[in-house]
Amino acid sequence: YLFQSDVEICLVDDGCKSPIERFWNGNTMIYVLQKARPNEESDSMEESKTDAFELLPKENSGPVPLSVRRAKQLISLFTMVQNPNMIHLKLGEVVALPPLWIRCDGSDPEHTYWLGAEPLKAGNKITGINLYMVTCDGPTADKTCFANLEELKMQHKIMHHSSVVTTKGFAQYELIRAAAIEDVIVESESNICVDIAWNTVDKILETPPLISAATLNIALEPGDPRSPVYQLYRELQFLLALTEGLKTGVIKQPEPLEPESAVELVQEFLADLKRKLDGYCVSGSKDGMEKIKCDTEAVDSLIKSIFSEQGDLDFAEQLWCKMKCKCVSSYQELIVCFTLILESLERGEIQPWIHHGSSSLLSKLIQQSYHGKMEAVSLTGITPIEMLLEIGLDKMKKDYVNFFIGKPEAVLLFQDYFISTSVDLQEQVHRVQKLHHMLEIMVSCVVLLKFKHENLFPLTQICMKYYKENPVDEKHVFQLPISSALVKKFYQDNHPEVWKVDISSGHGPKEVKTTWQVSTNPPVEHMTSNNTGLLSDSTVNASAEERMYFITVVKCSQVHFR
C-alpha cells in the first residue's frame, strides 16, 4: 500500500521469509515500510493509489530504504496511534496492529538500518510498545573496533535500570569450506553449516563449548563431478531424459560414456549370452551370470562400510547399464535395440535370468519366453521409451534401497512411497530423484563430516519425512539437531560466519535484549543500495588469517503507556 506518496507498506505474513528474522524472532505478521518508487506508467498519483501493486519495485531491483529522519517520524506516528491515552486524536477503540519495521538508509551517525516498533499487550489492552534500533558498521578486520563484553553488559544495565543480566551465545560455521575430498575444497552451490547456541558467554568471539546445542543445516545441490556417486547422478539424468522423452518424443541424453553405438553394445551383449547358452546348455542361472557390480563401486571404502553392495545384476539391469553408458542417440536406435532383444527371446537364442518381482514389460516378456510363448509387442509410439524407462527405474530403485538399507527385511520402510509402482512412470521417476538427493546428502555427510550410522539414521528420517510431503527441491535446507562435539574439529580452529551475544534482563513481556553481532555477509539486504563504498572491501577470503566482519548492534527499549 502507498502512504503519503513516499512510503510503501508491505504486509509480510508468518508464511513468508521475514527480512528481519536475524534481529527479531517474532512469529507473527509484520508491516515493512520502505521508500516507494515512482511509477513511470502512471499519469498521476491518484492512479497510483488505485493500484498498489504498480508501486512495487521491479523484479531484482531490491528494496529502497527511507531516510532515518523519515523513519523516526513514522515510528512516532505508529506509537501515537497505538497509545490508548491519546484520546484527543478521536481514534475510537485502539486495536493492536502488527509490529512495524522500517528500512533505513544508515545516513545518521549511528548508521541505523532498521527501526522497529512492537505493541505490548495485556490481554486485549495495549500497555506499551517495544522500540528497536538496528545499526551496522564495517566490514572490518580491525578487532579494536569490536565491543568489550563487560562494557556491553554495563551499558545494558544502565539503559534498562537492571542489576542482573544473562548472556546467550550463537555462532554459525561453514563446514563445507573446512572439509575436503582428496584435499580439494568443495566449491558449489551446496552449503553445509552448523548453528551453535549456548548459555553464559564469557568473552567476545569465544569458541562455543562442546556441550552446546547445535543444528546442522544442509543445502546440497546434486551433480558435483567429485562426488563418489556422480556416476549414479549421470544415470539419473538419463532416466530424467527418458521421462521428458515420454512427453516430447525426443530423448535429450547426456554425453555417452562409450564410443560404440547402442546397437553394437546390445549385439555384443546378446552374442555373449548366446555363447554362454551354447557352452553350458544352461543359461540364466545366477551362478552363470557375469558378475557386474552396481554403481556402489563409485563409493569409496568409507561409504562401502555403511552402504552395502548389491549383488549380481539381472539381464534387464545389465541392459540398462549398457544403454545408459551409451545414452541412446535416437528413437530409431532404441527400436532397433529392442527388436534385436525380442527376436532373440522369441527364437530361444537366449534364456536370461531376471530378478523375482521385476515389474517392467521386458521382465514379463522374458518370463513368458521361458514357456515358449510371448505376447506381441508393437515397438511404436512411446512404447520403446517406456520399456527402457521401466528397466531403468527397476534397477535404480534397487540401487537406492541397497544404498540406504542393505537389508531385505527393511525394504518395507520404503515400500509405501519411494519404490511404489502404483503411480505413473513420471511420478516414480520424481520419487527416485528424491532418493538420489537424499543419497547425495548422506554421502556428503560421510565423506566430508565422517558421519557414522547413528548420525545418518535420524538425518535419513528427516529427509524421508520431508520428501513424502513435498516435491523435489534441491535448494531446501535440511536441519539435523546434533552434538557440537560431533563437528568440533571443523569449527574449533576456524572463523565463524556469524557470531553474536544476546544480553537480556527482565522476564516475560518486560524482557529487553541487547544484541551484538559480527557477520561475514551484510546483515541487511538494503545496505548495498546506497552504500557501495562501504562494501567495496568486503571480499572474504576463507583461508585468510583475519576475517572481514560487519558489526551489528540491536537495541531494544520499552515505553509503557500509563
- At 17, is the pLDDT very low, low, confident or very high (cuts 50, 70, 90)? confident
Last residue in a domain, options 400, 424, 448: 424
When pLDDT is averaged across residues 413-440 and rounded to a whole number, the result is 87
Confidence (pLDDT) at 305: 42
Res 539 pLDDT > 60: no
Confidence (pLDDT) at 414: 60
Percent with pLDDT over 70 in the chain: 79
- Residue-wise pLDDT for 362-372, tens only, equals 888 888 888 88
Stronger pLDDT, 87 or 407, i.e. the higher one: 87
CA separation (Å) from 213 to 14, 143, 487, 513? 26, 27, 12, 21
Are 18 and 152 contained in the same domain? yes
Res 280 pLDDT > 60: no
Domain presence at residue 182: no
Task: Kindly state the DSSP code that residue 384 receives in the 8-state scheme.
Answer: H
CATH code of the domain in which 261 resides: 1.10.287.1880
Are 256 and 364 contained in the same domain? yes
Res 521 pLDDT > 50: yes
| Residues, the chain | 562
- At 544, is the pLDDT very low, low, confident or very high (cuts 50, 70, 90)? very low
- At 408, is the pLDDT very low, low, confident or very high (cuts 50, 70, 90)? very low
Res 50 pLDDT > 70: no
Domain presence at residue 500: no
- At 246, is the pLDDT very low, low, confident or very high (cuts 50, 70, 90)? confident
Domain presence at residue 158: yes
Stronger pLDDT, 104 or 291, i.e. the higher one: 104
Grid cell, residue 388, equals 527402457
Q: How far apart are CA 66 and CA 274, in angstroms?
A: 79
When pLDDT is averaged across residues 510-522 and rounded to a whole number, the result is 92
Domain presence at residue 155: yes
Are 365 and 259 contained in the same domain? yes
Last residue in a domain, options 392, 424, 456: 424
Cβ neighbourhood burial of 374 (10 Å; 0-12, 13-18, 19+): middle
Res 105 pLDDT > 60: yes
Are 260 and 396 contained in the same domain? yes
Domain presence at residue 350: yes
| pTM summary value | 0.79
Amino acid in position 277: L
Are 12 and 141 contained in the same domain? yes
Tell me the residue range of the domain where 10 lies. 1-38+62-163+506-561
Contact 466, 478 (CB under 8 A): yes
Our count of domains for the chain comes to 2
- Residue-wise pLDDT for 154-205, tens only, equals 999 999 888 899 999 999 999 876 454 444 444 566 889 999 999 999 999 9
With a CB cutoff of 8 Å and minimum separation 6, the contacts of 459 are 216, 218, 441, 442, 445, 451, 478, 480
Of the listed ranges 104-108, 216-220, 246-250, 460-464, the least confidently predicted one is 246-250
Res 307 pLDDT > 70: no
Are 21 and 158 contained in the same domain? yes
Percent with pLDDT over 90 in the chain: 31
Domain presence at residue 266: yes
Res 470 pLDDT > 60: yes
Are 250 and 145 contained in the same domain? no
Are 20 and 148 contained in the same domain? yes
Domain presence at residue 195: no
Last residue in a domain, options 384, 401, 424: 424
- Residue-wise pLDDT for 57-99, tens only, equals 444 567 889 999 999 999 999 998 888 888 777 767 778 889 9
Are 129 and 245 contained in the same domain? no
Stronger pLDDT, 256 or 52, i.e. the higher one: 256
- Residue-wise pLDDT for 106-151, tens only, equals 989 999 999 999 998 888 888 889 999 999 998 988 888 899 999 9
With a CB cutoff of 8 Å and minimum separation 6, the contacts of 470 are 476
Confidence (pLDDT) at 206: 94
When pLDDT is averaged across residues 283-294 and rounded to a whole number, the result is 38
Average pLDDT value over all residues in the chain: 80
Res 376 pLDDT > 60: yes
Are 390 and 516 contained in the same domain? no
Contact 448, 175 (CB under 8 A): yes
CA separation (Å) from 25 to 99, 300, 478, 505? 12, 43, 20, 17
Stronger pLDDT, 453 or 289, i.e. the higher one: 453
Domain presence at residue 548: yes
Confidence (pLDDT) at 541: 43
Helix, strand, coil shares, percent, the chain, to 5: 40, 20, 40
Q: How far apart are CA 419 and CA 359, in angstroms?
A: 11
Confidence (pLDDT) at 186: 47
